[in-house]
Amino acid sequence: MIALDVNGVVHQLDVDPETPLLWVVRERLGLTGTKFGCGIEECGACTMHVDGVATKTCQLPVGRVQGKKVTTIEGLPEDHPVKRAWVAEEVPQCGYCQPGMVMAAASLLAARPNPTPAEVDRAMDANLCRCGTYPRIRRAIRRAAKGG
Amino acid sequence: MASIVKLRRRDLLKAGAILGGGLVLGVHLPLVRGRAAQEAGTEPAPDPNAWIRIGPDDVVTVVVHHSEMGQGVYTGIPMLVAEELEVEWSRVRCEAAPVAAVYNHPWWGVQGTGGSTSIPSSWEPLRRVGATARTMLIAAAAAEWGVPAGECTAEGGRVLHRSSGREARYGALAQKAARLPVPAAVPLKEPKDFKLIGRPLPRLDTPEKAHGTAMFGIDVALPGMLTAVVARAPSFGGTVARFDAEKARAVPGVTLVAEVPSGVAVVAEGFHAATEGRDALEVEWAPGPEPQLSSEGLRQRYRELSGQPGSVARRDGDPAAALGRGAKTLTAEYEVPFLAHATMEPLNCAVDLRADRCEIWTGTQFQTADRNAAAAAAGLPPERVHLHTLLLGGGFGRRANPASDFVTEAVHVAKAAKAPVKVLWTREDDTRGGYYRPFWYDRISGALDADGRPMAWLHRIVGQSILAGTPFEAHMVKGGVDETSVEGAADLPYAIPHVQVELHSPRIPVPVLWWRSVGHSHTAFVVESFVDELAAAAGADPYAFRRGLLEEQPRHRGVLDLAAERAGWGKALPAGRHRGIAVHKSFGSYVAQVAEVSVDERGRVRVHRVVCAIDCGTVVNPDTVAAQIEGGIIFGLSATLYGELTFEKGRVRQGNFDDYPLVRLSDAPEVEVHIVPSEVPPSGVGEPGVPPIAPAVANAVFAATGKRLRRLPLTPERVRGG
């Protein structure tokens, strides 16, 4: 049995500890906000927070996050400055990459409240967007950094 | 689980119930119009009951017949309806349509989304839906009050009778209105009276996408659902020779291994078990028709064809003779590779197949084709198959497959599984699964007269026909010419007296499909690079040279001038930066782009800024237009700098984002979009931003390095090596 703390709720799960956290959260907990894009930690669609830090989860064995706090996109409050900024700047197009983007941006701003453009680029390069919303992501992060 | 209940409520729509939520006895008018009827204004009146639902709380739900893949139709279509209906935008919601003839694309006669046609084809009919419903609501209020309808007005979701001060909310009138006869030929507003159209209204799907509650096909969960992945042949056309499932079946969680027409399905409890099971599966594949297919071999084959006359798509004058009379003649060979669509959401499809019905959940752009193909695979009549369209995590054409590949396959897996099942494609499955933008090899010649003006142009195109073997072949492939192979080339806008465009359509066993901007994704690169080559040979400025050849093309000139002006063409740039320009018409819209680029000593190309001008007719939502152009440019930039699928020994080498990279945030240029004001009907927006970026960047690279690059992607090796 694995004790998994997701968004403040502890679940007791009978699951193979090698199962990637992404699939435990999506399939066993029914939290489908976090997405599958590549399976090799190249696209960032699977980004959650583990103890507050943006972490890719498509290859992360669930056994390794026992005792840690996992936060998913569903666990960020609706009035989180990043979510508000994402809405204000009309960032999403297809929207599939955006939960990962929001989690990456939230983690960045928690660590660096006033990132330089180069710091934004470096941090957000972990996440791919096929629709090309990058210019709006830049603007939304600037907006969120200013307090939304 | 709540989401499943919401999805099943769509069954109510089949009862035809909509305006007012009660049963409707209105006439269900046939809606397969064709574009000609639409343009002539001769199509029948739409039945608002199929398109609008007004609740007692005054929430207006618009049923949208197009698929939302990021292009903004879930906002644009409701805007058209809401404008004429006269409701507050804050009250408007939208919902995906079920599969039904009333929702057929008016130009295609089947339900589907693509070709940047959703707004252009809905512009008139969906506004008429809103106007018709408004008229019926007014009539209902007028009848209730015993006053002439002509004394009533509609505004903000209410009907008003000013002289008596009476008013009624739409929510209170809807049930009555739904039972009234549908009026014909209701007039539409003048553009000067638009309250919503033309404004950057917030998208209806933005909040759920920012909050992570948006449901894509891959997110569907059904009671008792299993998950499947399919092992498919590594070379196209290959089949299963034999397989051994013993080890696969022994993997915990695997419930079934079964052969299906497209390969071997591994069905399990969850994705992890399914993929572990597939890794343990032993399959021997019989090779397809070309097991040694290689990119090098194809290139040689195509190059040979490019030297031979092909089917003629256009001939003005006598280009072959004129080429010989030029003061300067140039000939060049261009090539662009196979490309994957690489939607961020890999393909997927969930199927619940029973003896007498079938329900499907997926993100698709091709509802009728998929529903019918599923029915055939399931052995059921089409009306027993219900296809639910979810949000698409990208489409770009991959999810509009005449072969309905991923849907049909999922039905076969469901037949084998005898349980609800969701088939997931891994990124490798998706990248190697075919239906690519074709590989193209072009040979192009041009001649300048003594004054440096182009007098002859001969463009020969070699590449697979997308439409061959599909139902579209009958009316879109004529005289051996697939329209989509020559679009952007055969309609060359430049005033050159002798123009010839030819096509070879070799048949190879690689499935190909439309990829965002289709033929334009390759022809714009060739045409706009080669015209730049002619400009250089003439010693002319690339902008001025093009301008001089577009005297008869005011809309081309309009965007070219606007882009050049806003980009500061001709003004000094920071050291190391150079500009390239391109102008191209596609899907009815005119786009010009100026790219500011620098090239480092390692040959890496950096695009700093792109200034874009677009003329797309009347704009419904300017923020959507800007977003689609920004996105189209960045999408096209991946193909310009990185995208390439190669074949070795019959197999696609690339598989994931490590070897098929995409543009990342740090690669993304600043993009400025300038929209030409217009009152002609809307033309396409989803795709036209893509074609010009590759030539604009390649032309800038030429300005920076003096090297003409004729092959995409512009890798550092190619930029260095030349």
Q: Which of B209, B225, B517 to mutate to test the interface with A (most CBs of A within 10 A)?
A: B209
- Tens digit of each residue's pLDDT (9 = 90 or more) over B525-540: 999 999 999 999 999 9
pLDDT, tens digit, 9 for 90 and up, residues B675-706: 999 999 999 999 999 999 999 999 999 999 99
Q: Do A136 and B630 touch (CB under 8 A)?
A: yes
**What dihedral do alpha carbons B358, B360, B366, B369 form, nearest 10°?**
-20
> Which chain B residue has its CA at the smallest distance from A19's CA?
B272
- Residue B560, pLDDT above cutoff 80: yes
Q: Which of B216, B208, B220, B212 is nearest to B75 (CA)?
A: B208
Do A132 and B635 form a contact (C-beta atoms < 8 A)? yes
- pLDDT of B47 reads 87
The pLDDT of residue B39: 64
Q: Please compute the mean of the pLDDT values over residues B207-228 and round it to a whole number.
A: 98
How far apart, in whole angstroms, are the C-alpha atoms of residue B683 and residue B692? 17
Instruction: Give me the residues of A, 47-66, that contact B with CB < 8 A.
Output: none
Query: Between chains, do B212 and A74 touch, taking CB under 8 Å as contact?
Result: yes
Which segments within chain A are labelled E, that is strand? 2-6, 9-13, 48-50, 53-55, 69-71
Judge whether residue B31 has pLDDT over 50.
no
Interchain proximity B630–A99, CB inside 8 Å? no
Residue in B444, B409, B440 with CA at minimum distance from that of residue B423:
B409
The whole-angstrom distance between A60's CA and the closest CA on chain B is: 12
User: What is the least distance, in Å, from the CA of B429 to any CA of chain A?
Assistant: 10
Look at A94 and B633 and tell me if their CB atoms are within 8 Å. Answer: no
- Phi/psi region, residue B237 (left: phi>0; alpha: psi -120 to 50; beta: rest), is left
- Please say if the pLDDT value at position B15 is more than 80: no
Quick check: A131 and B215 CB within 8 A? no
Q: For an interface test with A, which of B211, B425, B428 has the most A Cβ atoms less than 10 Å from its Cβ? A: B211
pLDDT for the residue numbered B686? 98
- Contact across the interface for A33 and B212, Cβ inside 8 Å: yes
Q: Would you call B344 and A45 a contact, using CB atoms and an 8 Å cutoff?
A: yes
Q: Is A23–B213 a contact, with Cβ atoms under 8 angstroms apart?
A: no
- Tell me the pLDDT band of B456, cut-offs 50, 70 and 90: very high
Which segments of B161-270 does DSSP mark as H helices, in order?
170-178, 206-211, 246-249
Confidence (pLDDT) at A147: 80
pLDDT on residue B14: 37
Nearest to A94 among B207, B394, B426 (CB): B394
Quick one: pLDDT at residue B7?
33
Confidence band, pLDDT 50/70/90 cuts, at residue B12: very low
Of B271, B342, B631, the CB nearest to A133: B631
Strand-pairing partners, residue B94, are: B62
Q: Please give the pLDDT value at position B483.
A: 96
Query: Is pLDDT of B230 > 80?
Result: yes
Q: What is the mean pLDDT of chain B?
A: 94
Tell me the shortest Cα–Cα distance from A95 to chain B, in angstroms: 5
Chain B closest CA to A2's CA: distance in Å?
17
Model pLDDT, residue B492: 98
Contacts of B681 (CB under 8 A, 6+ apart): B120, B123, B124, B617, B618
| CB of A83 less than 8 A from some CB of B | yes
Residue B209 has pLDDT above 70, yes or no: yes
Asked whether the predicted pLDDT for residue B722 surpasses 80, the reply is: no
Measured between beta carbons, the chain B residues lying within 8 angstroms of A91 are 206, 210
pLDDT at B45: 73
Smallest CA–CA distance from B657 into chain A, residue? A42
Distance (Å) from the alpha carbon of A73 to chain B's nearest alpha carbon: 6
The DSSP H or E segment spanning B584 is strand B578-586
Closest CB to B662: pick one of A34, A124, A130. Answer: A130
Identify the pLDDT of residue B38.
65
List CB contacts of A68: < 8 A, sequence separation 6 or more: A5, A50, A51
Residue range A75-106, pLDDT digits in tens: 999 999 999 999 999 999 999 999 999 999 99
Q: Which residues of B touch A87 (CB under 8 A)?
A: 202, 206-207, 210
- The pLDDT of B654-669, averaged and rounded, is 98
Interchain proximity B343–A94, CB inside 8 Å: yes
Q: Using a CB-CB distance cutoff of 8 angstroms, which residues of chain B are in contact with residue A86?
A: 206, 210
Kindly state the tokens that stand for B5.
């209940």
Contact between B219 and A32 using a beta-carbon 8 Å cutoff: yes
Residue of B nearest to A44 (CA): B344
Of B202, B219, B427, the CB nearest to A90: B202
Does residue B87 contact residue B94 with C-beta atoms inside 8 Å? no
Contact A93 B70 (CB under 8 A): yes
Would the CB atoms of B221 and A120 count as touching at under 8 Å?
no
Q: What is the pLDDT of residue B30?
A: 29
Cβ contacts of B211 on chain A, cutoff 8 Å? 33, 73-74, 78, 83
With an 8 Å Cβ cutoff, are A72 and B212 in contact? yes
A78/B211 touch (CB, cutoff 8 Å), yes or no: yes
| Sole residue written with tokens 């090796």 | B717
Judged by CB atoms closer than 8 Å, whether chains meet at A130 and B202 is answered as no
Residue of A nearest to B72 (CA): A93
- Is A87 within 8 Å of B393 when comparing Cβ atoms? no
Give the residue on A whose Cα is nearest the Cα of B2: A30
Chain B interface test: which of A73, A86, A131, A141 (most B C-beta within 10 Å): A131
Which residues does chain B have within 8 Å of residue A42's beta carbon, measured at their own beta carbons? 656-658
pLDDT tens sequence across A20-73:
999 999 999 999 999 999 999 999 999 999 999 999 999 999 999 999 999 999
- Whether A40 and B209 lie within 8 Å, measured CB to CB: no
Burial B271-309 (b: 16+ CB within 10 A, else e): bbbbbbbbebbebebebbebbebebeebeeebeebbeee
Of B202, B343, B426, the CB nearest to A130: B343
Alpha helices in B499-550 (DSSP H): 520-537, 542-548
| pLDDT tens-place string over residues B375-420 | 999 999 999 999 999 999 999 999 999 999 999 999 999 999 999 9
| pLDDT of B18 | 39
Provide the percentage of residues in chain B whose pLDDT is more than 90. 92
Q: Does A91 touch chain B (CB under 8 A)?
A: yes
CB-based contact A128 B205, cutoff 8 Å: no
Tell me if residue A4 falls in helix, strand or coil.
Answer: strand
* Per-residue pLDDT, B56: 93
The answer on pLDDT for B62 being more than 50 is yes
Give tens-digit pLDDT for B541-551: 999 999 999 99
Mean per-residue pLDDT, B412-432: 98
pTM: 0.95
Q: Do B665 and A73 touch (CB under 8 A)?
A: no
CA atoms within 13 A on the CB side of B578: 18
pLDDT of B13 > 70? The answer is no
Tell me the average pLDDT across B50-63. Answer: 96
Q: Inspect the interface and report whether the beta carbons of B209 and A95 lie closer than 8 Å.
A: yes
| B231 Cα distance to chain centroid | 28
Between B13 and A116, the higher pLDDT residue: A116
What interface predicted TM-score (ipTM) does this complex get? Answer: 0.98
Mutation target among A24, A94, A128 for the B interface, most CBs of B within 10 A: A94
pLDDT in the model for residue B621: 98
Q: What is the mean pLDDT of residues B123-146?
A: 97
Cross-chain Cβ contact B630/A132 below 8 Å: yes
Structure confidence at residue B471 as a pLDDT band (50, 70, 90):
confident
**B249, pLDDT greater than 50:** yes
Closest residue in A to B516 (Cα) is A131
Residue B34 pLDDT class (50, 70, 90 cuts): low
- B205: chain A residues, CB-CB within 8 Å: 92, 95
Q: Please state the rounded mean pLDDT for residues B90-113.
A: 96
Mean per-residue pLDDT, B15-30: 31
| Secondary structure of B276-308 as H, E, C letters | HHHHCCEEEEECCCCCCCCHHHHHHHHHHHHCC
pLDDT of B707 > 90? The answer is yes
Q: Can you give the pLDDT at residue B21?
A: 39
Q: Do B213 and A78 count as a contact with CB atoms less than 8 A apart?
A: no
Name the band, by pLDDT with cuts 50, 70 and 90, for residue B232.
very high
Please determine, for residue B555, whether its predicted confidence score (pLDDT) is greater than 50.
Answer: yes
CB–CB of B495/B552 below 8 Å?
yes
Interchain contact, B393 vs A73, CB within 8 Å? no
Residue in A with minimal Cα distance to B67: A94
Cβ-defined contact of B627 to A16 (cutoff 8 Å) = no
